[in-house]
Amino acid sequence: MTGKIESRLAELGVTLTEAPAPAANYVPYVQSGNLVFISGQISQGPDGLITGKLGADVSLDDGAAAARSCAISLLAQLKAACGGDLDRMTRVVKLTGFVNSTPDFTDQPKVINGASDFLVEALGDAGRHSRSAVSAGALPFNVAVEIEGIFEIA
């Protein structure tokens, strides 16, 4: 049976895939008490990785879409951490977003809004969170965005 959160995602046209496997020597998430710390999720879509540099070859809108894809991957990891029951999530606590950008690009918050806006749209008030949005001169595999998250679960 599909839970409340996954039903809402379906209304938004989002189906969670299997949680992406780690690309190096780390675990995808760690639970400590009622908090789940999810490792950085990189921007990817149905056609593969979303790559490029904001301020050079990636538009602000495409960057926000890349951030949204990271938020979807965060929820897939959270679902795995919750044993398949995404409704155990009680709130998004914090996101840290990294934007592959040129030195003169200053709209990192607008890029990471792609993730923040999606989580609020999908989760309502439980999706509201604290956040950092920072520039990176390069990201793994030349992805446009990477986002890590902290979630509270019941």
Give 51-119 as a 3 state SS string: ECCECCCECHHHHHHHHHHHHHHHHHHHHHHCCCCHHHEEEEEEEEEEEEECCCCCCHHHHHHHHHHHH
Looking at the chain, the whole-number percentage of residues with pLDDT higher than 90 is: 92
Q: What integer pLDDT is reported at residue 20 of this predicted model?
A: 79
With respect to residue 81, please indicate whether it lies within any of the assigned structural domains: yes
Q: What integer pLDDT is reported at residue 134 of this predicted model?
A: 98
pTM for this prediction: 0.96
Tell me which of 153 and 46 has the higher pLDDT: 153
Range of the domain at 112: 32-153
Cβ atoms 69, 60 nearer than 8 A: no
Overall number of domains in the chain: 1
With respect to residue 121, please indicate whether it lies within any of the assigned structural domains: yes
pLDDT of residue 31 exceeding 70: yes
Average pLDDT in the chain: 96
With respect to residue 21, please indicate whether it lies within any of the assigned structural domains: no
With respect to residue 68, please indicate whether it lies within any of the assigned structural domains: yes
Averaged pLDDT, 77-103: 97
| 63: CATH | 3.30.1330.40
DSSP E strand stretches across 4-50? 29-32, 35-42, 44-45, 48-49
With respect to residue 58, please indicate whether it lies within any of the assigned structural domains: yes
**Nearest-angstrom CA–CA distance, 21 and 89:** 21
> Confidence band (pLDDT; 50, 70, 90) for 1?
low
Q: What integer pLDDT is reported at residue 81 of this predicted model?
A: 97
**Amino acid at the residue 34:** N
pLDDT digits (tens, 9 = 90+) for 133-153: 999 999 999 999 999 999 999
Averaged pLDDT, 105-128: 98
